[in-house]
Copies of this chain bind each other. A is one copy, B any other.
Amino acid sequence: MTATVLNAEQLQEILASSFPGSETPLVDEVNGDTVVLRQPVGARHGRPGGTISGPTMMMLADTAAWMAILAQIGPVLLAVTTSLHIDFLRKPDMTDLMARATLLKLGRKLAMVDVTIYSLGSDAVVAKAQVTYSIPSSRP
C-alpha cells in the first residue's frame, strides 16, 4: 500500500457528509494513485431489461474520480468536474458496481482520472470513463 493523504475511512466520511441522506458508494480500497469504490445497487438504479441506468454509472465515475484526487490532495471539497467522457460497453446485471479510479495527472490547475467500471465478481468492463477536475487555487 502506498501512502495517501487521506485513507479509506476519511474518504468515506467526506462522502457521507457531502451527500447526506443518500446511499453513497463504499470506499473499498485506497492505494497510492488508485481508489476503488463499490456502489450498492437497488431497484431505484434499474432500467427496463434488468440493467443499471447510465446516470448511475456516470455518477459513480464522477465520484470515484473525485475520491482519487482527494486521496492525494486532502479534503478540497470545491474541486469541480470540468469534463467527463464515458463509453458504455456492456449492460450490467443488477449487481453491485465497482469503480477503479486511477489518477493519471495531478497538476496545479487540473487533475485527470481514468475510471473503469465493472460488476462485482466479474472482470468484464461495463463502462470506461476519463474525468477531469479543476482544482481551486487555494488548497487547504
Partner-B contacts on A (CB < 8 A): 18, 48-49, 54-55, 58-59, 62, 77-78, 80-91, 104-105, 109-110, 112, 114, 125, 128, 130, 132, 134
In the assembly, how many copies of this chain are there? 4
Q: How far is the CB of A139 from chain B (nearest CB, A)?
A: 15
Question: What 10 A-B pairs are tightest by C-beta distance, nearest first?
Answer: A55-B59, A89-B105, A85-B85, A54-B81, A58-B58, A83-B87, A104-B125, A109-B109, A87-B112, A84-B86
In whole angstroms, how far apart are the Cα atoms of A87 and B132 in the complex? 9
**Is the Cβ of A54 less than 8 Å from the Cβ of B62?**
yes
Q: A83-B87, A87-B82, A105-B125 are in contact. Are A48 and B62 (CB under 8 A)?
A: no
**Is B81's CB under 8 angstroms from A84's CB?**
no
Which residues of the partner chain B approach A82 to less than 8 Å between Cβ atoms? 87-88, 110, 132
Task: Looking at the assembled complex, report how far the CB atom of A102 sits from the nearest CB atom of chain B, in whole angstroms.
Answer: 10
